[in-house]
Amino acid sequence: MNRIPSALQLGIRRGGLEIRQFARQRESVVFTLLFPVILLAIFGSVFQNTIAPGVTFSQYFVAGMIASGLVNTGFQALAITIPMERDVGALKRLRGTPMPASSYFIGKSILIFVSMVIQILLLLGFGVAFFGLEMPTESSKWLTFAWLVLLGSACSTALGIAFSIVPKSGRGASAVVSPIVIILQFFSGVFFVFTQLPPWMQQVAAIFPLKWLTQGMRSVFLPESFASQEVAQSWELQTSFVVLMIWLAIGIFFSVRKFKWDRD
């Protein structure tokens, strides 16, 4: 008698399967991966002004797009697709097999991380090619970028899985989830310069992870001199790290404790 495969082993297998399934849904592949690029094309063409010496709006916007891409691809996609999987009985079927819940979560994390990396590459490539995006040169900035993407992706995935318990059905999920994401994007300085938003909006945004991800991404893509124009006159990277870690913990807690495999 062989042993039951380990949770990690099955999680990696599930990741492969999730990617394969995702890749076959052409519409959602195009939408998910190219949507930020399309937004960049629109905003980059409309706002050709500079918001500080040497800082174009496109440069500012790319930071926001990468951050909100993490929210769209992870949180939004999972909080909508998991209720759909639940509706069609896919989750209940999985529950009836020896595959542990953690493998399912690992599989989702892999899917989100891989699609995030592709999305970022497309966005950066497009930005450099058409909108004069300047890439950071210091390795310390790339290090910041790496942990922001990793932690942001994990946080977004965990919160998406946790939030999937909220929509009653797959059909209604989008109506519940999308407004939250869009409002957060406006509040968090993705579409506008954050410091130009009303203070109450800034304060609300500061509770949620997107503001901190966006600000962190600005520290990567904007010149060091721009830090003085942030709310705290600094990038506040430590605070970003702490806030994201707290939200990651909240996401994992609810995912593990409250995940719903079955309707009703």
Partner 1 sequence: MSLIEVQGLKKSYGDVHAVRGVDLEIAQGEIFSLLGPNGAGKTTTVEILEGFRNRDAGSVSVLGFDPQTRGRESRIWRDRIGIVLQSSSDAGDLTVVETIHHFSGYYSNPRNVDEVIHSVGLKEKESALIRNLSGGQRRRLDVALGIIGNPELLFLDEPTTGFDPEARRAFWALIQQLRSDGTSILLTTHYLDEAEALADRVAVINKGVIMEVSTPADLGGRATSQATVQWRDGAETKSEKTDNPTAVVSALSTRFNGEVPELVVTRPSLEDIYLEMIGGVDE
Could you list the residues that contact partner 1 (CB under 8 A)? 1-5, 10, 13, 17, 20-21, 24-25, 85, 88-90, 92-93, 95-100, 262
Q: Toward partner 1, which CB reaches closer, 166 or 256? A: 256
Which residue lies nearer to partner 1 by CB, 53 or 262? 262
**Shortest separation between residue 264's beta carbon and partner 1, angstroms:** 10
Residue 78 Cα to chain centre, angstroms: 10
Question: What are the φ/ψ torsions at residue 42 (nearest 5 degrees)?
Answer: -70, -55
Residue type, 110: I
Q: With respect to partner 1, which residue has the nearer C-beta, 7 or 204?
A: 7
| Residue at token pair 């006159």 | 233
CA atoms of 159 and 76, how far apart (whole Å): 9
Distance CA 19, CA 15 (A): 6
Least distance to partner 1, CB of residue 100, Å: 6
Q: Residue with structure tokens 């063409």?
A: 45
- Of the pair 4, 8, the CB lying nearest partner 1 is at 4
CA distance 159 to 263: 20
Q: Position 177: which residue type?
A: V
Q: List all residues 6 or more positions away from 113 whose beta carbon is below 8 Å from its beta carbon.
A: 150, 153, 157
We find the least distance from the C-beta atom of residue 258 to partner 1, in angstroms, to be 14
Identity of the residue, 10 or 177, whose beta carbon is nearer to partner 1 in the bound complex: 10
**Closest approach of partner 1 to the CB of residue 14, in Å:** 8
**How far apart are alpha carbons 85 and 117 in whole angstroms?**
24
Min. distance of Cβ 195 from partner 1 in angstroms? 44
